[in-house]
Every structure is written in C-alpha cells, then in structure tokens.
C-alpha cells in the first residue's frame, strides 16, 4: 500500500508533464496540473497516516520512506496544491498563453523532483535529485523572459550549482571515511554511513560535514550563501516563488539534517551543531538587515525566507526534542505562510503593476478581503500569536536556552523582534500611508481573480488552527523524529 | 579502502595524470582566451580518463572503471568541449574583455591555493594515520582544483567561462573520487556525466537568452537585482 502511494507521488506529476506537453491547451494544462497536485496531496496525507512514523524501504534499498521524509513530502505536496490552484488565476495574467503548457509541464516536473528527493536513500542519488530541482526550476525562474528574470536565473544556476558541487565533494569524503570501516565498495545508504560513523576520523568528518553544510546550505539559502535566493524568488512567477520557498528549501534542509545525524554519530564533540547554529544565526542577522530597508515587495518575502530557514537551521542545530520538533513544525508553518505571502505579493504586484513597496498604497481600501488575509499572514510570518509560527519559534527558542546555545537563542529573540518591527512597518505603509504621488494612483488597480484569493484563505486557515492547537498526534510524531535523530548521538 | 598497494609504475602514472589535470587548470587561469580554456578543459578531461584507465588496470581490470574512463573521454573529452566550442562560435566572443584579475596575478593566487590544499591534505593525512603519497596527491588535486575553479568563477565574467568554471569544479571532484573511492558505485559517475550534459543544455539556452535581452554575455552586466 505504501509502495503504491509512493508511486502515485512520482507518477502523478510525471503524467502531468507528459500530457501538458501533448495537449498544448493552456486551460487543459492548468486543470491537469491541479488534478496532479490533488492526487499528490491526497497520497501524501494518506502516506503519513498509514506509515505513522515507521520506516519503509523499497526498490533494493534505494527508496527510504521514513518519518522526516514523510513530513517534508507533506509540506511539499501542500505547497504544490496551493500553488497549482493559485496558478490557474495568476498565470493567464502574464499574457504568455502560448507557452503555458510548457510552464505547467516544468511546474509538475519541478514538483516531481522536489517530491522524490526526500525519499532517496542514497546520498549520491539525493544529490542528483537536488541538482535536478535546480535544472528544472531555472527555466521556471526565467519564464517571464524579462532581463531581470534572466539575470536571476543565471545567478541561480551558477551560484547553486557551484555551491552544490561542494556538497558532492563532502559526500565523496563521507563515503571515503566510511570505506575504512565498511570496505572499498558498499551501498551508500544513510544507514550504512551512520553505521560507519562512530569509526570515522573526527577531522575528516568535520571537513566533510562543513562541505556538505555549505553545499546544501547554498540550496537552503543560509547566509552568506543566500545571494541567489532573493533574486530567484523575486523574479519567478508567484506560484513558483511559493514552490521555491515553501517546498524546495525544506527538501534541501533534509539533506543537512541527515548528514548532521551522521556527523553527530562520529566523535566530533558537537562542532557540526555549532557550525549549523552559527550559519542559522548569521542568516537571521542578514535577513533582519535587508528586511528593514527593503524596497521591493517580493524581495521582502524572499529575505523572510532566509530568516525562516535560519530559524529552522537553529532548531536542528540546537537539537533536543524541542529544537527538532520545533524546526519540523516550523517547516510546515513556514510552507503554508510563505505560500500565502507570495500569493498576496503576486496579487498586489499584478494589480498595482509594480513590485515597489512605495507604489503599493491603501491596499486595504482597494481589496478588503485579500488585503485582510495578506495582513493576517504578515502578522503570522513575523511570529506573532495566535498563528503556528509563534508556537514553533517559541519551541526553538526554548531548545536554545535549554541546550547551551543561550547566546544564539538570545540573538534569535532580538533579531525576531527587529524583523517583526521592520516587516510590519512595510505593511503599515502599504495599508495606511497616503500615496506619495496621487496622479499615479488615480488609475484604479486591476481586479483579482477568485482563484488567486481562495488559496490565500486555504493557507491561512490551517495556520490559525495550528497556532491555537498543536495536535497531540502531531507533537508525538515530531517528537519521535527528534528521538530518532538523537538516538545515534553518543 | 583506496590504499591497496599500487605498483610503482601505476602510482607514477597516477601521479602524472593527476598533476596533468591540475596543470590544465593553471592554463585556464593564465589565459584570457576562451578557446584556450576550452582546450585546457578537454585536455584535463582526457587526463582524468587516463587516470580512470590506470586505476582500472591497477584494480585487476575492473570493467566498471574502464567504462568510467570511456564515458569521461566521450562526454567530458569530446561532447562537452564540442558543445562549448559551438557556443563560443555562435556568440562570437573570443576573449575576456574586462579583467578583474590579471592572468599573472591569477597564477600567483592559484599557486597559493595549491599550497593551502597541500597543507590541508597533510593535516588530514596525519590525523588519519595514513601513509602514502597517493592520498596526499588526490586530496591536494581535488581541493586545489575546487579552489581554483571558484577563483575562476569569481574573477572571470564571460558567461561561457563561468560554465567552464563549473565543469572544472566537477572535474576536480572526479579526480579525487577516482583515487579515493574507486569502489564507488558506477551510479555516481554516470549521473555526474548525465548531469553535466543537462547543465550544458541549460547554459546553452541561458546564454542565448542573455544575448537576446541584454546584448552581452558578460555577467558584469547582471547588476539590476541588488539589495
């Protein structure tokens, strides 16, 4: 049963790719993509209910379905579904109807690469899958073909490919380290590396882990390797921004988590954790500085992604039940919330015809309902109660103070406050400031399609529920993952 | 473990090909002509193919390693250089126009990178208690090519050069992987080659986009997105 559902995860998007290329009808492609996303989402939910934290191996041990993978797949499937709904309303506004089937084919291909990467049980295959996401999404980032989109796509592929080559380097060194214990030829599964880890040389492990951390950290968007992220996220079409931010970054983070578990099992006395915590704290710092002075609405959202990846990195770095469970819960909350924020930003950007924050004024007066949803999302993303991110950030903070990373937790608290003020200040200006230039705003903004507003509500609702009530079953599920990650530690 | 005893001849050939690979990177670093980069990259790939063949012989004629040698020669030695050669011709760019770093200074920094790589390798070898110059050599070449590849990405601005820089990064990993973990499943090698082909296809498209819209293939012109 689980094997069949996993096949659905892979086959549904693959079928969408094929039929989108065959059909060549924009509306048909959009509907197909939505159908694929629904199938994927239902499969992901069924999988997490059925598997219930167990580990399952398929296809000669190449596929591993365990609790962390199930969680990341669920986040990705959720974002894919929301983005697929949103794309139906958003994409026709770009006036590229002829190329839309291509777009949806790439979109589904991108989703496919993201969905399969957490399932890879082989460090090398995982690397390939992550690299495949880059290759597919480059074309999505460049879809609008404006000079800015092309620039963003170029920076994206160069920076990320160069960065991820370091991850391959680190993977090779891990394999080499394992070969001292397991012999020259063995199957490079996560379990095999974990078994070999206690015998690995600490300086070799440290060197290899740093390479992997920088490599996948580039893909995750941890500062100072984040430079591609604001460009790619701000220049791609809004549904793709949401996919990049809500789904892709989590999938790459899982690689760091898996390698962290291996590095922890080696005699490295906590140094890998310190490195991860340092990068997480730096990401928060960089994000805070750029959020406060940001001028473009989509770049504001992109830097907020850097911030939240920093929080997740801190959570995994702190470790412990609260750290890991908080970080995983944060993944889900961030996936929901960032989709909402990018959808809102895309709507406002299209309606007002500008990406500049200074051109978006009196948003609330023009669009009462979407504006209210977007404002609620903004309050949520800065970590204010009663939304899910408040709970998960609190759990991460608590883990930091409990586990001898007090300095990082204190820094995190201060920076979160800075970001809260800086981020909401932009929203205050957009909602309540008078426009500087009355002539420019005499023209009324364009209306929004219902398809563009509904997914915002669909994202906000669970966010509110998750903030008011952290279900016991979810907590247990996440705590079990935390224990499984910790079990290997000496 | 990679440290099975090598015959003196095999170990000499191994060193020779690995050093040849490293030298090719210096050719790129010391030049400003795109075709020189291309030839150096092709030569480096052939050196790696030879390296794979030497390792294959020394490991009892392992057929997988022969296959790797053949694939490396075919893809990285012929197909990729041909694609890049076509790209260079179509773009009609022959050299780097704006030098951020003169080739002479580049060579000096490259030499410093090799020394640094050597120091790191010695440290690693000492902590692993391994004898043998082969490990030192593999680690040094691997780290040095990575460092120099990143240097090229940073100081050269032609789009084609950046593509070659990325390929050089992966070549470095290939050298190290072949020497350190020849028992690595073929899967990685195949995927490495496959992956690079897709990457070049992407770059082909992107470079064309760049010329259509921006009118130059210099990445220095990419400065609209800041802050």
Please give the C-alpha separations between residue A102 and each of A18, A20, A28, in angstroms, as whole numbers. Answer: 10, 7, 12
Q: Are B183 and A151 within 8 A, CB to CB?
A: no
Nearest CA distance, B173 vs chain A (angstrom)? 6
pLDDT of res. A440:
57
Q: Are A124 and B210 within 8 A, CB to CB?
A: no
Higher-scoring residue by pLDDT: A12, B199: A12
Q: Are A184 and B165 within 8 A, CB to CB?
A: no
Q: Between B124, B150, B205, which is nearest A203 by CB?
A: B124
> What confidence category does residue B74 fall into, taking pLDDT thresholds of 50, 70 and 90?
confident
Q: Between A125, A135, A168, which is nearest B198 by CB?
A: A135
Q: Which residues of A touch B188 (CB under 8 A)?
A: 124
Instruction: Dump pLDDT digits (tens) for B121-146.
Output: 888 888 887 767 788 888 899 999 99
What lies within 8 Å, CB to CB, of A285 at 6+ separation is A223, A411, A415
Nearest CA distance, A384 vs chain B (angstrom)? 26
SS (H, E, C) chain A: CHHHHHHHHHHHHHHHHHHHHHHCCHHHHHHHHHHHHHHHHHHHHHHHHHHCCCCEEECCCCEEECHHHHHHHHHHHHHHHHHHHHHHHHHHHHCCHHHHHHHHHHHHHHHHHHHHHHHECEHHHHHHHHHHHHHHHHHHHCCCCCHHHHHHHHHHHHHHHHHHHHHHHHHHHHHHHHHHHHCCCCCCEHHHHHHHHHHCCHHHHHHHHHHHHHHHHHHHCCCCCCCHHHHHHHHCCHHHHHHHHHHHHHHHHHHHHHHHHHHHHCCCCCHHHHHHHHHHHHHHHHHHHHHHCCCEHHHHHHHHHHHHHHHHHHHHHHCHHHHHHHHHHHHHHHHHHHHHHHHHHHHHHHHHCCCEHHHCCCHHHHCHHHHHHHHHHHHHHCCCCCCHHHHHHHHHHHHHHHCCCHHHHHHHHHHHHHHHHHHHHHHHHHHHCCCCCHHHHCCCCCCCCHHHHHHHHHHHHHHHHHHHCCCHHHHHHHHHHHHHHHCCCC
Q: Which residues of B touch A212 (CB under 8 A)?
A: none
Nearest CA distance, B105 vs chain A (angstrom)? 23
> What confidence category does residue B2 fall into, taking pLDDT thresholds of 50, 70 and 90?
very low
SS (H, E, C) A464-484: HHHHHCCCHHHHHHHHHHHHH
Planar angle of CA A470, A474, A479, nearest 5 degrees: 105
pLDDT of res. B83:
83
Q: Are B227 and A299 within 8 A, CB to CB?
A: yes
Closest CA to A171 of A131, A138, A133, A141: A131
Planar angle of CA B172, B175, B179, nearest 5 degrees: 145
Higher-scoring residue by pLDDT: B173, B192: B173
Q: Are A201 and B127 within 8 A, CB to CB?
A: yes
Q: Which of residues 299-318 of A touch B (CB under 8 A)?
A: 299
Nearest CA distance, B216 vs chain A (angstrom)? 12
Nearest CA in chain B to A179: B1
Alpha-carbon gap, residue A392 to A318, rounded angstroms: 13
Alpha-carbon gap, residue A137 to A156, rounded angstroms: 9
Question: Chain B contact for A188, CB < 8 A?
Answer: yes
Question: Chain B contact for A432, CB < 8 A?
Answer: no
Tokens of A183: 């012999």
Higher-scoring residue by pLDDT: B140, B188: B140
Alpha-carbon gap, residue A175 to A208, rounded angstroms: 10
Alpha-carbon gap, residue A313 to A217, rounded angstroms: 9
Q: Which residues of A touch B125 (CB under 8 A)?
A: none
Please list the rounded mean pLDDT of every run of 10 residues in chain A (490 residues). 88 92 87 93 92 82 89 95 93 86 92 94 89 88 83 87 90 88 83 88 91 95 91 92 94 94 86 92 95 92 94 92 92 94 92 87 87 94 90 92 89 95 93 74 72 91 89 87 68
pLDDT at B38 over 60: yes
What is the per-residue burial (b if ≥16 Cβ within 10 Å, else e) of A435-454?
eeeeeebeeebeebbebbbb
Nearest CA in chain A to B161: A158
Tokens of A278: 């340092």
Mean pLDDT value across residues B170-193: 75
Q: Are B214 and A299 within 8 A, CB to CB?
A: no
Alpha-carbon gap, residue A8 to A3, rounded angstroms: 9
Nearest CA distance, A184 vs chain B (angstrom)? 5
Nearest CA in chain B to A201: B128
Closest CA to B123 of B110, B114, B111, B136: B136
Rg (CA), chain B: 18
**Quick check: B196 and B167 in contact, CB under 8 A?**
yes
What is the per-residue burial (b if ≥16 Cβ within 10 Å, else e) of A466-482?
bbeebeeebeebbbbbb
Average pLDDT of chain B is 81
Please give the C-alpha separations between residue A330 and each of A66, A333, A337, B76, in angstroms, as whole numbers. Answer: 19, 5, 10, 43
Q: Are A185 and B185 within 8 A, CB to CB?
A: yes
Q: Are A179 and B181 within 8 A, CB to CB?
A: yes
Alpha-carbon gap, residue A307 to A396, rounded angstroms: 14
Q: Between A124, A131, A183, which is nearest B187 by CB?
A: A124
For residue B226, the tally of other CB atoms under 10 A from its CB is 7
Q: Are A235 and B225 within 8 A, CB to CB?
A: yes
Q: Are A168 and B173 within 8 A, CB to CB?
A: yes
Closest CA to A303 of A225, A230, A233, A375: A230
Q: Are B206 and A155 within 8 A, CB to CB?
A: no
Question: Chain B contact for A176, CB < 8 A?
Answer: yes
pTM (two decimals): 0.92
Q: Are B124 and A150 within 8 A, CB to CB?
A: no
Backbone angles phi, psi at A459, to 5 degrees: -80, -35
Nearest CA in chain A to B192: A128
Domain residue limits, chain A = 2-486
pLDDT at B76 over 70: yes
Nearest CA distance, A183 vs chain B (angstrom)? 6
Nearest CA distance, B227 vs chain A (angstrom)? 7
Testing the interface with B: which of A116, A134, A161, A204 to mutate, by most B Cβ within 10 A?
Answer: A161
Nearest CA in chain A to B200: A135
Q: Between B2, B199, B213, which is nearest A147 by CB?
A: B213
Question: Chain B contact for A161, CB < 8 A?
Answer: yes
Could you give the maximum distance between any two Cα atoms of chain A, in Å?
74
Testing the interface with B: which of A123, A152, A168 to mutate, by most B Cβ within 10 A?
Answer: A168
Q: Which residues of A touch B195 (CB under 8 A)?
A: 128, 131
Closest CA to A84 of A479, A383, A459: A459
Nearest CA distance, B188 vs chain A (angstrom)? 6
Q: Which residues of B touch A295 (CB under 8 A)?
A: 227
Which residue is listed with tokens 């968007």?
Answer: A221
Planar angle of CA A111, A11, A337, nearest 5 degrees: 30
For the ranges B65-69, B75-79, B93-97, B152-156, which has the lowest average pLDDT?
B93-97
pLDDT of res. A490:
38
Q: Are A204 and B188 within 8 A, CB to CB?
A: no
pLDDT of res. B208:
63
Count how many pairs of residues, chain A against chain B, have C-beta atoms within 8 Å.
128
pLDDT at B205 over 80: no
Q: Which residues of A touch B159 (CB under 8 A)?
A: 154
Q: Between A135, A147, A201, which is nearest B224 by CB?
A: A147
Q: Are B127 and A184 within 8 A, CB to CB?
A: no
Q: Are A175 and B213 within 8 A, CB to CB?
A: no
Tokens of A345: 């930003």
Q: What share of chain B has pLDDT > 70, as a percent?
A: 80
Which alpha helices (DSSP H) does B92-185 contain, by range?
103-128, 133-155, 159-180
Q: Are A180 and B1 within 8 A, CB to CB?
A: yes
């Amino acid at each position: 049963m689980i094997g069949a559902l996993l096949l659905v995860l892979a086959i549904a998007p693959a079928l969408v790719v094929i039929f989108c290329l065959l059909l060549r009808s924009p509306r048909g492609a959009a509907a197909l993509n939505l159908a694929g996303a629904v199938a994927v989402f239902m499969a992901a939910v069924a999988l997490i209910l059925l598997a219930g934290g167990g580990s399952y191996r398929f296809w000669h041990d190449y596929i591993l379905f365990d609790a962390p993978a199930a969680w990341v797949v669920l986040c990705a499937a959720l974002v894919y579904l929301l983005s697929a709904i949103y794309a139906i309303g958003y994409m026709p506004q770009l006036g590229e109807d002829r190329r839309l089937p291509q777009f949806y084919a790439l979109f589904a291909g991108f989703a496919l690469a993201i969905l399969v990467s957490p399932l890879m049980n082989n460090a090398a295959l995982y690397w390939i899958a992550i690299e495949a996401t880059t290759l597919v999404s480059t074309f999505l980032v460049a879809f609008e073909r404006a000079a800015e989109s092309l620039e963003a796509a170029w920076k994206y592929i160069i920076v990320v490919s160069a960065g991820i080559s370091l991850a391959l380097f680190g993977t090779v060194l891990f394999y080499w380290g394992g070969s001292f214990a397991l012999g020259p030829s063995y199957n490079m599964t996560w379990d095999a590396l974990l078994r070999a880890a206690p015998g690995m040389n600490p300086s070799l492990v440290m060197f290899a882990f740093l390479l992997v951390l920088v490599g996948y950290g580039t893909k995750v968007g941890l500062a100072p390797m984040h430079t591609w992220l604001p460009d790619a996220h701000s220049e791609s079409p809004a549904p793709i921004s949401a996919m990049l931010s809500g789904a892709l970054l989590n999938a790459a983070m899982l690689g760091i988590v898996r390698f962290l578990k291996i590095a922890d099992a080696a005699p490295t006395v906590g140094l890998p954790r310190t490195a991860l915590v340092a990068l997480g704290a730096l990401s928060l710092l960089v994000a805070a500085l750029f959020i406060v002075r940001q001028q473009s609405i989509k770049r504001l959202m992109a830097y907020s992604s850097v911030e939240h990846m920093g929080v997740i990195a801190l959570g995994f770095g702190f470790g412990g039940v609260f750290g890991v469970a908080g970080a995983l819960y944060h993944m889900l909350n961030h996936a929901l919330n960032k989709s909402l924020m990018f959808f809102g930003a895309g709507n406002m950007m299209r309606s007002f015809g500008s990406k500049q924050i200074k051109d978006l004024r009196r948003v609330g007066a023009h669009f009462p309902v979407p504006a209210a949803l977007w404002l609620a999302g903004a309050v949520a993303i800065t970590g204010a109660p009663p939304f899910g991110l408040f709970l998960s950030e609190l759990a991460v903070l608590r883990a930091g103070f409990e586990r001898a990373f007090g300095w990082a937790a204190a820094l995190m608290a201060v920076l979160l406050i800075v970001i809260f003020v800086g981020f909401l200040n932009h929203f205050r200006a957009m909602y309540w400031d008078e426009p500087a230039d009355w002539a420019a705003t005499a023209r009324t903004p364009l209306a929004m399609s219902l398809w563009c507003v509904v997914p915002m509500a669909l994202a906000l609702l669970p966010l509110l529920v998750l903030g008011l009530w952290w279900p016991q079953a979810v907590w247990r599920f996440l705590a079990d993952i935390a224990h499984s990650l910790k079990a290997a530690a000496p | 473990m990679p440290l099975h005893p090598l015959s003196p001849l095999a170990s000499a050939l191994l060193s020779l090909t690995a050093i040849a690979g490293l030298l090719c990177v210096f050719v790129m670093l010391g030049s400003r002509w795109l075709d020189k980069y291309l030839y150096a990259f092709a030569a480096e790939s052939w050196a790696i193919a030879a390296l794979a063949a030497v390792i294959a012989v020394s490991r009892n004629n392992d057929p997988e390693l022969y296959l790797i040698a053949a694939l490396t020669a075919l893809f990285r030695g012929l197909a990729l250089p041909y694609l890049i050669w076509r790209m260079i011709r179509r773009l009609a760019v022959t050299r780097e126009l704006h030098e951020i770093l003169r080739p002479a200074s580049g060579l000096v920094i490259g030499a410093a990178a090799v020394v640094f790589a050597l120091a790191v390798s010695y440290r690693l070898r000492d902590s692993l208690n391994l004898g043998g110059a082969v490990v030192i050599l593999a680690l040094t070449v691997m780290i040095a090519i990575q460092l120099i590849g990143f240097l090229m990405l940073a100081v050269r601005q032609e789009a084609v050069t950046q593509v070659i820089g990325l390929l050089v990064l992966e070549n470095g990993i290939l050298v190290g992987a072949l020497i350190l973990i020849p028992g690595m499943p073929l899967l990685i090698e195949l995927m490495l080659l496959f992956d690079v082909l897709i990457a070049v296809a992407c770059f082909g498209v992107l470079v064309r986009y760049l010329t259509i819209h921006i009118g130059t293939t210099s990445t220095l012109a990419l400065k609209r997105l800041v802050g």
